[in-house]
């Protein structure tokens, strides 16, 4: 039977891919941020999950504003990255597991999450940068991936509570798959940031730290906020943090906090790395 061993959170800012590609990770601006990934990298290399379900948002590479699914699951055996206009070379393709994806899709739809299924899916910085920060860059990636895209770009976006419930359904979907796979769920994006408008540059450290603490120990806390309340506190792009709740909903109610690291600011964002492990 497949089982979820834990979850990891990570920011996904494009500048992270640039810093990695240009060997800047040990420069003063970046060092503390990347040091925050070391215990997460060690945990992943010790636990060696077979599959990472990456909960992320697309920023216009795969879905443009004319067609935006609320939730979309990759159902392919390969996922390609592409040029997003940052002058970054696309990374090597990611291996998927279409059979497992279709099982997840079927289970989610049975549980009344009528997701969009994608037999082709280009993955942008929201997906690629957390994986690069957590595993390094590879020509052959050390983990099979399944992209699960959440619309956090064009309103209306799903609520925090809906994301948490999607995570609970995802757990059920994974645990009903007969193959012995060890699965990790990545909750990406966030924390607080706003990239445009009068409040551009907004970061709320107190809210970020509360989110990190509560998502680990009391995830219901965040499910009580409306999207307007989250955006008021965390900025318009801070709404990405709802994706952490998909990861959290997929875990047991009590989890072991293996690692927690917060760094601010990095680019325009408050960045958090959490490693949460299921007991047994
Ligand atoms: C930044 C953050 C994001 O989530 C994003 O998609 C683009 C840029 C930033 O902080 O620079
Ligand atoms: Fe983003």
Substitution site in 187, 196, 267 for ligand 1 pocket (most atoms within 8 Å of beta carbon): 267
Which of 12, 59, 103, 125 does the annotation list as catalytic? 125
Ligand 1: lining residues by beta carbon, under 6 Å: 12-15, 59, 189, 193, 195, 237, 240, 267-269
Distance 42 CA to ligand 2 centre (A): 25
Distance 214 CA to ligand 2 centre (A): 22
Check residue 87 and give its pLDDT: 84
Check residue 62 and give its pLDDT: 98
CA-closest residue to ligand 1 atom 8: 13
- Tell me how far apart the alpha carbons of residues 276 and 97 are, in angstroms, rounded to a whole number: 24
Distance 225 CA to ligand 2 centre (A): 20
Check residue 97 and give its pLDDT: 98
Check residue 86 and give its pLDDT: 81
Burial label for 48, CB within 10 Å (0-12, 13-18, 19+), is exposed
Instruction: Tell me whether residue 12 is one of the annotated catalytic residues.
Output: no
CA-closest residue to ligand 1 atom 2: 13
Q: The tokens of 31 are what?
A: 């060092």
Cβ atoms 204, 211 nearer than 8 A: no
Substitution site in 9, 10, 12 for ligand 1 pocket (most atoms within 8 Å of beta carbon): 12
Q: How many residues does the chain have?
A: 280
- Tell me how far apart the alpha carbons of residues 82 and 74 are, in angstroms, rounded to a whole number: 16
3-state secondary structure of 135: helix
Cβ atoms 90, 83 nearer than 8 A: yes
DSSP state of 267: T
Check residue 280 and give its pLDDT: 74
Distance 191 CA to ligand 1 centre (A): 10
Ligand number, closest to the Cα atom of 195: 1
Domain limits for position 79:
3-278
CA-closest residue to ligand 1 atom 10: 268
- Tell me how far apart the alpha carbons of residues 8 and 131 are, in angstroms, rounded to a whole number: 10
Check residue 24 and give its pLDDT: 97
Check residue 207 and give its pLDDT: 98
Q: Edge to edge, what strands does the sheet with 94-95 contain? A: 94-95, 78-81, 122-123
Structurally, the chain folds into a number of domains equal to: 1
Residue 96's CB is within 10 A of a number of other CB atoms, namely 20
Tell which atom from ligand 1 comes closest to the C-alpha of 237.
4
Q: Give the CATH number of the domain where residue 85 resides.
A: 3.40.830.10
Cβ atoms 194, 269 nearer than 8 A: no
Distance 239 CA to ligand 1 centre (A): 12
Instruction: Tell me whether residue 80 is one of the annotated catalytic residues.
Output: no
Tell which atom from ligand 1 comes closest to the C-alpha of 268.
10
Contact partners, residue 33, CB within 8 Å, separation at least 6: 16, 263, 266, 271
pLDDT digit string (tens) for the chain, length 280 residues: 999 999 999 999 999 999 999 999 999 999 999 999 999 999 999 999 999 999 999 999 999 999 999 999 999 999 999 988 888 899 999 999 999 999 999 999 999 999 999 999 999 999 999 999 999 999 999 999 999 999 999 999 999 999 999 999 999 999 999 999 999 999 999 999 999 999 999 999 999 999 999 999 999 999 999 999 999 999 999 999 999 999 999 999 999 999 999 999 999 999 999 999 999 7
């Amino acid at each position: 039977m497949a089982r979820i061993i834990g979850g990891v959170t990570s920011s996904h800012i494009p500048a992270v891919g640039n810093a990695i590609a240009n060997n800047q990770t040990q420069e003063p601006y970046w060092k503390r941020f990347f040091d925050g990934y070391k215990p997460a990298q060690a945990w992943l290399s010790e636990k060696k999950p077979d599959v990472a379900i990456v909960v992320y948002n697309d920023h216009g590479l795969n879905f443009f504003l004319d067609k935006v699914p609320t939730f979309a699951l990759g159902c392919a055996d390969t996922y390609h990255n592409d040029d997003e206009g940052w002058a970054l070379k696309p990374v090597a393709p990611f291996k998927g597991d279409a059979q497992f994806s279709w099982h997840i899709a079927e289970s989610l739809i049975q549980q009344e999450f009528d997701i969009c299924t994608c037999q082709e899916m280009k993955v942008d910085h929201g997906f690629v940068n957390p994986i690069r920060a957590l595993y390094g860059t590879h020509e052959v990636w050390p983990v099979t991936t399944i992209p699960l895209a959440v619309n956090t770009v064009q309103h209306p976006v799903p609520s925090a509570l809906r994301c948490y419930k999607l995570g609970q359904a995802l757990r059920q979907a994974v645990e009903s798959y007969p193959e012995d796979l060890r699965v990790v769920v990545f909750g990406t994006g966030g924390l607080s940031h706003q990239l445009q408008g009068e409040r551009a540059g907004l970061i709320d450290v107190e809210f970020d730290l509360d989110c990190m603490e509560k998502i680990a120990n009391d995830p219901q806390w965040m499910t009580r906020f409306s999207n307007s309340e989250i955006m008021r506190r965390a900025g318009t792009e801070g709404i990405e943090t709802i994706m952490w709740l998909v990861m959290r909903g997929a875990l047991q109610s009590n989890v072991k906090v293996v690692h927690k690291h917060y760094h601010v600011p990095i680019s325009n964002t408050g960045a958090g790395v959490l490693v949460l492990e299921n007991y047994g």
